[in-house]
Amino acid sequence: MKRKLLTLLTCFITLIVGAQTITIDPEFERYLIVENIDTAPADGEIAIAAIQTVVEVDLSNYNVSNFGGLQEFRDLQRFSMISNNAANIDQIDFSQNKNLTRINISSSDNLVDINVNGADALENLQIFRGNNLSNLDVTNNLNLNYLAVYTNSITALDLSSNNLLKDLVIRDLPLLSNLTITKDLEGLILDNTALLALDLTDMTFLGNSSFLSPNFQIENNTNLQFLELSESQVQSVNLSSNLDLRSIILDFNSQLNSVILPSEAIMVCGPTIIFLTSSGEIA
């Protein structure tokens, strides 16, 4: 008899857990109904079981204010949100989305905070124009390989722990005055920031780079072996201290009028190979 009661109690608990629901933002629920993840009519709730296996959420053109419940999307891999016009947008917390690999957020003027600390699988993060972030912490996103940040109020960005990062694009961050990079990059674009120089002390490879500021300086780069600079507005490049430099490619840098390289270096400018004299001057 006791065994039967225990079995019935276990089944009852299982049914309760299986029927658990959470409250959800009306616009978020509207999206879930459109995608046939939830059913009409909207009641402000969603069954946890219905969202746990969802792998992609695209909230573009949905004016979601509260992202509570996002933590229950345990299988979520891709998140997109473009043109969220809600008057107030709470923090988007991705800390419990352990399978999330890609985030794309753009044109959400009242978004001021996202948390990706804990999104351990994150590889691709794109925060485009029209948001209002003042801080972005990716120090614990060790799988991050692509980062693009446009038109926000971020003042500092620490990428010293992102050893898998390959491509970095930063545009229209006029308050960004502190950028820390210690990893070789295959691509780097810096445009309209408060940065006047970039410390490359710990880097040996910098490919497909573009610095769209005439007075930008590349400093402390004695370990650099490869540099590709293209479509930049930099006026001068001084690499005289780069004794390990093996290759430099300069393409379509319309403002560039001074290049100082170590002796015996080779500069490739488009299809032309220019040999340098022992004094470092172009031959």
Task: Based on the fold, state whether residues 68 and 93 are members of the same structural domain.
Answer: yes
| Residue 252 resides in a domain | yes
Q: At 171, phi and psi to the nearest 5?
A: -135, 140
The predicted model gives 5-19 an average pLDDT of: 46
Which range, of 67-81, 252-266, 267-281, averages the lowest pLDDT? Answer: 267-281
Residue 18 placed within a domain: no
Beta bridge partners of 198: 218
- For residue 167 the two structure tokens come to 């491509």
55 plus 171 within the same structural domain? yes
Number of domains in the chain: 2
Interatomic CA distance for residues 238 and 248, integer angstroms:
12
How deeply is 251 buried, as exposed, middle or buried, from its count of CB atoms within 10 A (0-12, 13-18, 19+)? middle
**Structure letter (DSSP) for residue 282:** B
Domain that holds residue 124: 49-185
Residue 270 forms part of a structural domain: yes
pTM strictly above 0.85 = no
Q: Give the span between the Cα atoms of 243 and 95, in whole angstroms.
A: 44
How far apart are alpha carbons 282 and 263 in whole angstroms?
10
Query: In this structure, are residues 166 and 184 in contact, taking their beta carbons and an 8 Å threshold?
Result: no
| DSSP state for residue 117 in the 8-state scheme | T
How many residues are recorded in the chain? 283
Q: What is the pLDDT of residues 119-136, one digit of tens each?
A: 999 999 999 877 889 999
Query: Is residue 89 in a domain?
Result: yes
pLDDT reading at 280 higher than 50: no
Share of the chain above pLDDT 90, in %: 51
- CATH number for position 177: 3.80.10.10
Q: Is the domain of 165 the same as that of 245?
A: no
If asked whether residues 179 and 216 sit together in one domain, one would say: no
What integer pLDDT is reported at residue 40 of this predicted model? 94
Same domain, 77 and 152: yes
- Contact status, residue 242 vs residue 221, Cβ threshold 8 Å: yes
* 54 & 179 share domain: yes
**Are 141 and 233 in a shared domain?**
no
Q: What angle do CA 94, 98, 99 make, to 5 degrees?
A: 110
Q: Is 93 contained in some domain?
A: yes
In a domain, residue 42? The reply is no
Cα–Cα distance between 120 and 142 in angstroms, integer?
A: 7
240 in any annotated domain = yes
Pick 105 or 198 by higher pLDDT.
105
206 shares a domain with 178: no
One domain, residues 159 and 204 = no
Q: Is residue 126 part of a domain?
A: yes
Check residues 282 and 186 and name the one with the higher pLDDT.
186
Q: What is the DSSP string of 119-167?
A: -TT--EEEE-SS---S----TT-TT--EEEEES----EEE-TT-TT--E
Examine the fold and report which residue of 185, 210, 240 is the final residue of a domain before the chain moves on.
185
pLDDT tens, position by position, 204-227: 888 878 887 777 777 666 778 888
How many other C-beta atoms lie within 10 A of the C-beta of residue 127? Answer: 22
Confidence band, pLDDT 50/70/90 cuts, at residue 19? low
Q: Nearest to residue 129, comparing CAs of 153, 112, 97, 151?
A: 151
Average pLDDT of span 55-78: 97
In a shared domain, residues 118 and 147: yes
- The separation between the first and the last C-alpha atoms of the chain, rounded to the nearest angstrom, is 98
Instruction: Tell me what percent of the chain is helix, strand and coil, each rounded to the nearest 5.
Output: 10, 35, 55
Claim to verify: residue 215 and residue 174 sit in the same structural domain: no
**Domain end (from 185, 205, 239):** 185
SS3 202: coil
Last residue of a domain, one of 166, 185, 204: 185
Same domain, 164 and 57: yes
Q: What is the pLDDT of residues 77-119, one digit of tens each?
A: 999 999 999 999 989 999 999 999 999 999 998 999 999 999 9
